[in-house]
């Protein structure tokens, strides 16, 4: 089945230790998104790639970066995680402005 | 700036009841509206997508309507089951930035 895959599902890191989350998709969608979702809150868009074009949200901290080496893969890099970065990170994909499909998420814990 | 509101924030119903979840948005210039389901600690599952030119979409026991001019959408769930218990999120895709704006969700509990 076509799907959005996120690895790892659970990530524990130490305060200030860089971490990379990965997302892959078999849907051949041209748009990939990264969201941050904290407990009992709606997902918050961090950035997205429209084809190869990177679009950063104005309020996304500089601590967060992303890479999309090819159509299928996208990475979220957190350079120096703080306690406030503990959250669920969701990857989503879409074909242009059509429906977005989400992966299962990565739960990040910062010690 | 698009804002999305969902009412009620929480809803508890006995099994078998039909129910309606409400969603409203402030900017009617939308591409589409999507309803999602989220189980605790899980990702989002897309339930229904309504394009801006459409009035409703149906999938099984679910029916979603869209009134773009009034900025409202409803999700109707027929014959609710305990397995329907989850948080339901409404999201609107709009704006020159092509961004999905989420409501804060309705937490649904269906009692056996």
Query: CA A21, CA A65: separation in Å to the nearest integer?
Result: 11
pLDDT score at B1: 84
Residue B12 pairs with which residues in a beta bridge?
Answer: B109
Mean pLDDT of A85-108: 94
User: Number of Cβ pairs closer than 8 Å across A and B?
Assistant: 46
Q: Which pLDDT tens digit goes with each residue over B87-99? A: 999 999 987 667 8
Lookup: tokens for A14: 């130490």
Q: Angle A14-A16-A19 (CA atoms, 0-180°, nearest 5)?
A: 70
**What is the 8-class DSSP label of residue B12?**
E
The mean pLDDT value of chain A amounts to 94
Query: CA A16, CA A79: separation in Å to the nearest integer?
Result: 7
Mean pLDDT of A25-50: 94
Q: Which residues of A touch B (CB under 8 A)?
A: 6, 33, 41-43, 45, 50, 55, 88, 90, 92, 97-105, 107
Mean pLDDT of A41-51: 93
Query: How many other C-beta atoms lie within 10 A of the C-beta of residue B107?
Result: 18
pLDDT score at B97: 62
């Amino acid at each position: 089945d076509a799907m959005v895959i996120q690895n790892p599902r659970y990530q524990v890191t130490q305060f200030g230790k860089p971490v990379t989350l990965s997302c892959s998709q078999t849907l051949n969608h041209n748009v990939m998104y990264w969201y941050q979702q904290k407990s009992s809150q709606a997902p918050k868009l961090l950035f997205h790639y429209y084809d190869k074009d990177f679009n950063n949200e104005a309020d996304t901290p500089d601590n967060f970066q992303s890479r999309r080496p090819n159509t299928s893969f996208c990475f979220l890099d957190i350079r120096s995680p703080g306690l406030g970065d503990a959250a669920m990170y969701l990857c989503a994909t879409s074909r242009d402005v059509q429906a977005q499909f989400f992966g299962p998420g990565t739960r990040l814990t910062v010690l | 700036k698009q804002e999305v509101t969902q009412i009620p924030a929480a809803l508890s119903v006995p099994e078998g009841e039909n129910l309606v979840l409400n969603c409203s948005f402030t900017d009617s210039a939308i591409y589409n509206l999507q309803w999602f389901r989220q189980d605790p600690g899980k990702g989002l599952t897309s339930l229904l997508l309504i394009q801006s030119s459409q009035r409703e979409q149906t999938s099984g026991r679910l029916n979603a309507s869209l009134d773009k001019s009034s900025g409202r959408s409803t999700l109707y769930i027929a014959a609710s089951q305990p397995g329907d218990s989850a948080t339901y999120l409404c999201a609107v895709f709009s704006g020159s930035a092509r961004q999905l704006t989420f409501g804060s969700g309705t937490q649904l509990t269906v009692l056996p």
